[in-house]
Amino acid sequence: MANVETLGTLERRVSMSVPAAEIEREVDTRLKKLARNVKMPGFRPGKVPLKLIAQTYGPQVRSEVLSDAVQKAFTDVVKEANLKVAGFPRIEKKDGGDTAALEFSATFEVYPEVKLGDLAGVTIERPQVAVDDAAVDKTIGILRKQRVRFVSVEHAAKEGERLTVDFSGTIDGEPFAGGKGENFVFALGEGRMLPEFDAAAQGMRAGETKTFELTFPADYHGKEVAGKRASFELSVKSVEEPRLPEVDAAFAKSLGIAEGDVAKMRSEIRANVERETNKRIEARVKAQVLQALLDRTPLELPKSLVQMEAQQLLERAAADLQARGMKPGQIPLDPAAFEAT
């Protein structure tokens, strides 16, 4: 039987022995196999003296053989002891001992044994949601907005309308990075532009130009202009108002109703909303069940798995920040901060 030491609730240590003679035999076998094809200056393939091959490749081959032997010994011990290893083992060589064998120890964590708590007193609530005409109308409204088209108008621009503009800004009379745009498109009131910029464009017509000033917020993402006052010249090239499609046969056809039957369209939308609603209800019920299990089932997680998951979350967060144009050093990320999540 394998000798398994219990170091903690989940931490275990096992001892392994690898016969030195087996290591030597395997090293010799691999070196001879390597000698068949290895190329060295001054020798034909397959004619390189084994002693020279051993001098050149011996340490690498021995390391590989030892690694394979230890991994096999560890796998055999774990299998014999019927352990479920969590994460990766820490392998350490033992000093001294029998010279006929190489002694190692492996320290690792195992998965916890899960014993479900008492769920007899748990109450699970299943929401009752009816999909009425108002829900169908709301969905149709969303679908209409997704198919909005913009039409040029001559009146003064107002909130919700789309503008195409040219602009150029200066700070203390000097242009700055990001302060100029041509054929730039944005919608008034969508929150994409600074409030002062939005306010300046309100009421302008196509063909008009104006000059205005604004102060960049102190926490503005562009650090070189944050907190500074800038002067802008704004020229409006076009003003377009949104036009929603009518709920008619053409709209129904655009949603896949071949005959353009609006009543059939509403019926299919209702069925889709009911299906999505049922999915959300099932997800909420499942979440309640899982939470009840967690609340009533004591569970200690392997630290190695928590650390691995935290490291992966950190790497994803770092990649996301880089994709947004931030440098890794700008926002320090601590793996420990992710372990609590």
How do residues 230-270 score in pLDDT, each as one tens digit? 999 999 999 999 999 999 999 999 999 999 999 999 999 99
The CA distance from 30 to 104, in Å, is: 23
What CATH number is associated with residue 160? 3.10.50.40
Domain of 94 in residue numbering reads as 4-110
The total domain count for the chain is: 2
The CA distance from 258 to 88, in Å, is: 58
Residue 191: inside a domain? yes
Average pLDDT, the chain: 90
Residue of higher predicted confidence among 274 and 114: 274
Residue 329: inside a domain? no
Can you tell me the mean pLDDT for 64-80? 92
Considering the domain architecture, whether residues 50 and 99 belong to the same structural domain is answered as yes
Instruction: Check residue 186 and give its pLDDT.
Output: 96
Q: Binning pLDDT at 50, 70 and 90, where does residue 43 land?
A: confident
Identify which of 298, 293, 294 has the alpha carbon closest to the alpha carbon of residue 10: 298
Of 199, 221, 243, which one is at a domain's C-terminal end?
Answer: 243
Instruction: Check residue 2 and give its pLDDT.
Output: 59
Residue 256: inside a domain? no
How do residues 205-224 score in pLDDT, each as one tens digit? 999 999 999 999 999 988 89
Can you tell me the mean pLDDT for 158-176? 96
0.75 cut: is pTM over it? no
Can you tell me the mean pLDDT for 58-72? 92
Residue 201: inside a domain? yes
Of 243, 268, 286, which one is at a domain's C-terminal end?
Answer: 243
DSSP conformation class of 39: -
Instruction: Check residue 341 and give its pLDDT.
Output: 61
Strand 4-6 and strand 11-19: the pairing is antiparallel
Identify whether the C-beta of residue 229 lies closer than 8 Å to the C-beta of residue 213.
Answer: yes
Of 221, 243, 265, which one is at a domain's C-terminal end?
Answer: 243
Identify whether the C-beta of residue 219 lies closer than 8 Å to the C-beta of residue 153.
Answer: no
Can you tell me the mean pLDDT for 315-333? 77
Identify whether the C-beta of residue 202 lies closer than 8 Å to the C-beta of residue 159.
Answer: yes
Angstrom distances, CA of residue 227 to CA of 149, 160, 230: 37, 28, 10
Say if residue 278's pLDDT is above 60. yes
The CA distance from 270 to 298, in Å, is: 43
Say if residue 108's pLDDT is above 60. yes
Residue 120: inside a domain? no
Considering the domain architecture, whether residues 177 and 227 belong to the same structural domain is answered as yes
Q: Phi and psi for 41 in degrees, rounded to 5?
A: -55, 135
Instruction: Check residue 1 and give its pLDDT.
Output: 47
Structure tokens at 140: 């149709």
